[in-house]
A = this chain, B = another copy of it.
Amino acid sequence: MSRNSRTLATAEVIAVGSELLGSTRLDTNSLFVADRLASLGIQLRGKSVVGDDRRRLADVFMAALSRADLVVLSGGLGPTDDDLTREAVAEVLGLDMREDPAIVAQIQERFARRGFRMPDVNRRQAMVPRGATVLDNPNGTAPGLLIEHDHRIVVLLPGPPRELQPMFEGVCERVLTARAGGYRVYKATLSVAGRGESHVEEIAQPIYSKWTAEDPPIETTILAVPGQVELHLSLRSEAGAAAEERLRRAHEALRAALGNDVFSTDGRSMEQVVGALLRERGLTIAAAESCTGGLLLSRLTDVPGSSDYVAGGAVVYSNQLKTTLAGVSADLIATYGAVSEPVAAALADGIRARTGASIGVGITGIAGPGGGTPQKPVGTVAIAFSGGELGSRVRTVSLFGGRPQVKFQATQTALDMVRRALK
């Protein structure tokens, strides 16, 4: 790196491959690259996807290079005629290509280890533009390339994520960090349950508006994902400890304002948070699920080690099974209806008794699209918590969306009831 080279402030990414222009596959590599760049304080300003078309790729690459200090290309480094990234980049930068004997030897050796001869076509992968640095690829045959050009940096990476990710990590560490002007991006997250996006914004906006006006600003994004609202804070700054302290105070102020609705400050999911609370307190959980059909227990058991605190439970779609498996009396169902608070409470009590778990959860509702009535429309779900000394609770919620959304939000509400009871 020359010492008077320009600081890298902006970047663009280009994903190459006709398969990324269909209706099934997205360029997910750009999320990884965006995350790594953000941590270095380099702003991603644009993304493009181009098919296996040399002229078009050259055109898009030239435009990106005119706008950004760093251009990261992924894909199109394979051995076939379709793989045109090396050629298009060399053409735009006006660089000759030459075969690198060291790369040929490496690829030959890779094939030899598996008892094959290297096909001649793979020699393409050893073509290197003059002045480029070769980036080793321990996970595939295509080496990456790094080119410094007119104070800008161009990085060519292979498309498969397990090849691209370690290679780009290496580029960040060895080259980009030193050139990114010493900036870093500090981040913090709060995950909130039990409030809608606009309600969270109403509480949070007066608090964070003052930091967004400061210099450097703390940027805040509100993201509504099913069953929860996430607040992401980020601060791009040169100053290490002082920046961290500012972000910590901002995070703390939001947390205080949102109180017990904040269920996670480290990106953990609701099932991870509830699992950790159960483990900490040495408790076990069981559930009797009607409309959620097993999703609550499936989410709880997605967490490694959950067999320590998940006893199990029952999926009781039919009224008969509500009686057989969870001990709910047929009279109670006849009196209040299957979707009712008394039945939810009886499911929670019954499954707790049957399994001997510390906590029982009961869920009964109408997931839709059929089955709704004017009194109990689609999305009506009764949820009960039965916890012995921890007390009992039951509530009815009205959920929106299609069948999978109703199921998910019902389990999220149930898990949040457990979380609040254990706090």
Residues on A lying within 8 angstroms of B by beta carbon are 19-24, 26-28, 30-32, 34-35, 38, 44-51, 53, 56, 59-60, 63, 67, 221, 223, 232, 287, 289, 291-298, 300-302, 304-307, 310-318, 320-321, 324-325, 354-356, 367-371, 403-404, 407
8 nearest interchain CB pairs?
A293-B301, A294-B294, A23-B35, A294-B297, A294-B298, A47-B49, A295-B298, A312-B315
- Residue in chain B with minimal CB distance to A316: B312
User: Given the complex of chains A and B, what is the CA–CA distance between A404 and B304 in angstroms?
Assistant: 10
User: Given the complex of chains A and B, what is the CA–CA distance between A44 and B306 in angstroms?
Assistant: 46
Q: How many copies does the complex hold?
A: 2
Report whether A294 and B301 are in contact in the complex, using a CB–CB cutoff of 8 Å.
yes
20 pairs across A/B with beta carbons < 8 Å? A22-B44, A22-B221, A26-B28, A26-B30, A26-B31, A46-B50, A48-B49, A56-B67, A60-B63, A291-B301, A293-B302, A293-B310, A294-B295, A302-B403, A304-B368, A304-B369, A311-B317, A311-B321, A314-B314, A314-B325
Report whether B317 and A307 are in contact in the complex, using a CB–CB cutoff of 8 Å.
yes
Residues in B neighbouring A32, C-beta threshold 8 A = 23
Report whether A294 and B304 are in contact in the complex, using a CB–CB cutoff of 8 Å.
no
Residues in B neighbouring A24, C-beta threshold 8 A = 31, 223, 232
- Supplied contacts A60-B63, A294-B297, A307-B318, 6 more A-B pairs, CB within 8 Å: A23-B34, A295-B298, A304-B403, A307-B371, A311-B318, A314-B315
Report whether A293 and B298 are in contact in the complex, using a CB–CB cutoff of 8 Å.
yes
Report whether B221 and A19 are in contact in the complex, using a CB–CB cutoff of 8 Å.
yes
Residues in B neighbouring A356, C-beta threshold 8 A = 320
A78 to chain B, nearest CB (A): 15
Report whether B26 and A26 are in contact in the complex, using a CB–CB cutoff of 8 Å.
yes
* Residue in B38, B45, B305, B325 whose CB lies within 8 Å of A51: B45
Residues in B neighbouring A296, C-beta threshold 8 A = 294
Residues in B neighbouring A314, C-beta threshold 8 A = 312-315, 325
- Residue in chain B with minimal CB distance to A305: B370
* Residue in B22, B30, B312 whose CB lies within 8 Å of A38: B22
Q: Knowing A45-B53, A304-B370 are in contact, say whether A317-B312 is a contact too (CB < 8 A).
A: yes
Report whether B407 and A302 are in contact in the complex, using a CB–CB cutoff of 8 Å.
yes
Q: Knowing A294-B315, A404-B302, A407-B302 are in contact, say whether A46-B35 is a contact too (CB < 8 A).
A: no
- Residue in chain B with minimal CB distance to A324: B354
Residues in B neighbouring A318, C-beta threshold 8 A = 307, 311-312
Residues in B neighbouring A300, C-beta threshold 8 A = 293
Residues in B neighbouring A307, C-beta threshold 8 A = 317-318, 371
Residues in B neighbouring A67, C-beta threshold 8 A = 56, 59
Residues in B neighbouring A30, C-beta threshold 8 A = 26
Residues in B neighbouring A51, C-beta threshold 8 A = 45-46
User: Given the complex of chains A and B, what is the CA–CA distance between A60 and B301 in angstroms?
Assistant: 47
- Residue in chain B with minimal CB distance to A311: B318
Q: Knowing A294-B298, A297-B293, A312-B318 are in contact, say whether A22-B34 is a contact too (CB < 8 A).
A: yes
A249 to chain B, nearest CB (A): 24
User: Given the complex of chains A and B, what is the CA–CA distance between A314 and B315 in angstroms?
Assistant: 6
* Residue in B21, B294, B305, B368 whose CB lies within 8 Å of A289: B294
Report whether B355 and A321 are in contact in the complex, using a CB–CB cutoff of 8 Å.
yes
User: Given the complex of chains A and B, what is the CA–CA distance between A316 and B301 in angstroms?
Assistant: 11
User: Given the complex of chains A and B, what is the CA–CA distance between A222 and B56 in angstroms?
Assistant: 25
Residues in B neighbouring A293, C-beta threshold 8 A = 294, 297-298, 300-302, 306, 310
Residue among A26, A49, A310 with most chain B CB within 10 A? A49
